[in-house]
Chain A
């Protein structure tokens, strides 16, 4: 059988689509895991980035930590977390290490891009805002964040794509997601399943990338569009 025929045969089986181990379940698991991890990372990283960007306080240390965090291999993080949480029921062995590793992966780009974005804001605009009687939070919300938005969203986009791609590893621990198709495909020497798993991960990552590009277009003021965000590099993982 050629790969094409194998794929056709695999996809023709309705059990491969629906059902507890089906492709749709895996896709939803993958999206849920990625989305939850990204949300947690945003909840942690955004306030940190905004704080160090607005005040400049602690920035050097935080950015250094973020750079180190960025260099950590995700599998290594899982390896460190797993022994610590393995005994926690019910998710200590599968979900918790995956979530911790993915959140850790997503935090650094958000922190560094938020920080860089705020630091790039024209000091004149900040001075004008303060001189007009804005409180510090108003300054942040009305001036700094809107102007830093290209960079902030670029950070989110990098994190989101990385998380979607890397969430594949969660399957190693049995946390589900599209990675299951790949792992099972390898274990069962089922090339079709392996291929479809890999393809779906790639499509999901690209869809994430595109939807963030759309979000950037919608959210960024036409007055600042055209300004380049720092490190608009595509994600790798």
Chain B
């Protein structure tokens, strides 16, 4: 369910970056074997109870559940911020209890709620914390910081010397991710990393993070209480229930189509059919060829193109190919050049990584039930329609869901 290979190549190319990603360590297998955590003496109810999970290398495993289900405790046992009471945790077969907590943590990226950037350090210093702890030479740290900021889409020259208080929530979030990746750890722990960002930016950051993950292929343990986020981000979801009991551990599709028990069924919600739409992405659909017109184009030409296509709407674009609004076939009845004022503003902009579910709600919210699929530079690459998505719902077959995992 992560970004498929052909797409990330086009993504990278679209961003004008070299296609050979800097050599990086890919994920390690994380294994929990009958792990229990009790905060009180023996006999007290455990926070995490006999939990066994195998997280394959390079996958995103989302721990999700109601508060008090032990998801954060479970995550923190992996880097020993919490010591397990019993059971074994291994990373690539090595028992975490055999390593010193300090050495262990320096090999595990960590992104926490509210990001936890150090306010007194610049973006560059924040990003370079772990390399500095590992005593890398300054020149190498500097180089690495630049590379990482570029990787998360922040221009190093502009951001390196800023302080966290001068950044937006989304920018802080990206710095947090860059910082966690600094020493190129095989494993990353993320505790509600997008919790502090508003819903619209969260969606973009999630998409961005999935794109990034398709390049770095870390093993990621991701904690959230939000089922939708879990479905969107996960290769595998571990649903925990109160008392740290594992209710189900499976792929999002399997959990939505075959919930293991009533708890899971209630937890994922009655709309799980609709939620399955989160598992397919816009790029999995066959895009409709758009009719693009520029402001000032002659109406006769536009009319001819519109008649040739079956959709009844043309998209008014600016000189960079970015959409400005919809033009109806009735808007081009007269003669003369097209007046941009006539366009119905607010074309829904949809990224190829957007899930079908998000695309559907975006399109339903606009007056024209079409979405303009745009690339990184907001250039239109095609259209999708509400009808296409309802066809998916009816057929029950998700496009691209069979071959996208792993």
Contact between chains at B116 and A133 (CB < 8 Å) = no
A-contacting residues, B254-311, CB 8 Å: none
Pick from A132, A133, A143, A223: contact of B164, CB under 8 Å: A223
CA gap between A235 and B112 in the complex, in Å: 40
B-contacting residues, A93-136, CB 8 Å: 122, 124-125, 127-135
**What residues of B have a CB within 8 angstroms of the CB of A222 in the complex?**
163
Contact between chains at A124 and B116 (CB < 8 Å) = yes
A-contacting residues, B114-129, CB 8 Å: 114-122, 129
**What residues of A have a CB within 8 angstroms of the CB of B189 in the complex?**
131
**What residues of B have a CB within 8 angstroms of the CB of A132 in the complex?**
105-106, 110, 129-130, 133, 179
Indicate whether A133 sits within 8 Å of B102 (C-beta atoms), given known contacts A128-B112, A138-B133, A222-B163: yes
A-contacting residues, B50-109, CB 8 Å: 79, 81, 101-107
Contact between chains at A131 and B133 (CB < 8 Å) = no
Indicate whether A124 sits within 8 Å of B81 (C-beta atoms), given known contacts A131-B105, A223-B119: no
User: Does any Cβ of B come within 8 Å of A147's Cβ?
Assistant: yes
Majority SS of interface residues in chain B?
A: mixed
User: Does any Cβ of A come within 8 Å of B342's Cβ?
Assistant: no
Contact between chains at A133 and B105 (CB < 8 Å) = yes
**What residues of B have a CB within 8 angstroms of the CB of A223 in the complex?**
118-122, 163-165
**What residues of B have a CB within 8 angstroms of the CB of A146 in the complex?**
118, 120
CA gap between A147 and B116 in the complex, in Å: 13
Q: For residue B130, give the distance in angstroms from its CB to the closest CB of chain A.
A: 5
Q: Which B-chain residue is minimally distant from A227 (CB atoms)? A: B119
**What residues of B have a CB within 8 angstroms of the CB of A67 in the complex?**
none
A-contacting residues, B31-59, CB 8 Å: none
Contact between chains at B105 and A128 (CB < 8 Å) = no
**What residues of A have a CB within 8 angstroms of the CB of B10 in the complex?**
none
Contact between chains at B133 and A133 (CB < 8 Å) = yes
- 4 more contacts with CB within 8 A, not counting A132-B110, A133-B106, are A122-B119, A124-B115, A133-B104, A223-B163
What are 6 pairs between A and B in contact, CB < 8 Å? A124-B114, A125-B118, A128-B117, A133-B103, A221-B121, A223-B122
| Top 4 A-B pairs, shortest CB-CB distance | A128-B116, A223-B163, A133-B105, A133-B106
